[in-house]
Homo-oligomer: A and B are copies of this chain.
Amino acid sequence: MARQEPSSARTPMHMIISEKLRKQIQNGVYAPGDQLPSEFDLGRTFGVSRTTVRRAIATLTGLGLVTTQQGKGVFVKPQSKISFSLANPLTFFDSELAKQGVTSSLQTLQYELTQPDPEIRARLKLPESEAMIYLQEKLILADEMPIAVDLAYFPEIVGIALKDNVNNGFTYRTLAISGYDIESAEVSLESRPASYNVRDLLDVPLGSPLLVYHYLAWDKEKVPLVYGETISRADRTFYSVGLERSQLGF
């Protein structure tokens, strides 16, 4: 039942197909928002089974070029990205996004006292193993679409003070209002594939790349005030910052 050409061409058919479609998308043959031919049609035009076409489409999905919608078809994805500030991505994020022509909003999903993971406890330098923390979970929307989730962990004392201001503005600003002044911070950025938890919140396929911004902030006495992670869709966001001579590493 299986048939395979004498492998005159070394490159597999699914790759030939995905490359052809990729170039057509890049060259504007299919514009953002356009629908690709159906899997059945593609199979007929390339003379391959539907399985092979699906393999090619899966590649394009992995490259972030198309999305599939059951019952409708395969569509070319728009590509624009939103900029976050690396020095402080989420303070004033609303005005910053407005500058980029994007309407934004915040949604606090939860704010609760809970027991921290050992890892979180270590980062916040909490000595006792029974110490509790406040967890704030927020959803960041741009143009009505969720683009990021923020998880912030506060030591209990800090968290109590924040309680009333939780819905105003954002982390660093909220801290300042409550009388906690940040003196320094350590931030880092990594990329991670989407797992099941965030997949639903951010409406992305499993395994698609996410940007994870970690932040740890201290007061004058080097006491940790907050640790957090902002998890954003890598296909919709990037981080940037300007650096002066004194800040460069030489």
A residues apposed to B, CB below 8 Å = 19, 51, 58-59, 62-64, 81, 83, 85-88, 91-92, 172-173, 176, 182-193, 195-196, 206-207, 209-211, 214, 234, 237-245, 247-250
Among all A-B residue pairs, the 3 with the closest Cβ atoms: A62-B207, A188-B240, A88-B249
Q: How far is the CA of A214 from the CA of B59 in the complex (A)?
A: 26
Q: Are B185 and A248 in contact (CB under 8 A)?
A: yes
Q: Which of B91, B207, B211, B247 contacts A249 (CB 8 A)?
A: B91
Q: Are A86 and B189 in contact (CB under 8 A)?
A: yes
Q: How far is the CA of A83 from the CA of B214 in the complex (A)?
A: 13
Q: How far is the CA of A176 from the CA of B176 in the complex (A)?
A: 40
Q: How far is the CA of A190 from the CA of B86 in the complex (A)?
A: 11
Q: Are A62 and B62 in contact (CB under 8 A)?
A: yes
* 25 chain-A/chain-B pairs, Cβ below 8 angstroms: A19-B196, A51-B51, A59-B206, A63-B206, A81-B190, A86-B241, A87-B243, A91-B250, A92-B249, A176-B250, A182-B248, A184-B245, A185-B243, A185-B248, A186-B242, A187-B243, A188-B239, A188-B240, A189-B189, A189-B211, A189-B239, A191-B191, A191-B209, A192-B234, A209-B234
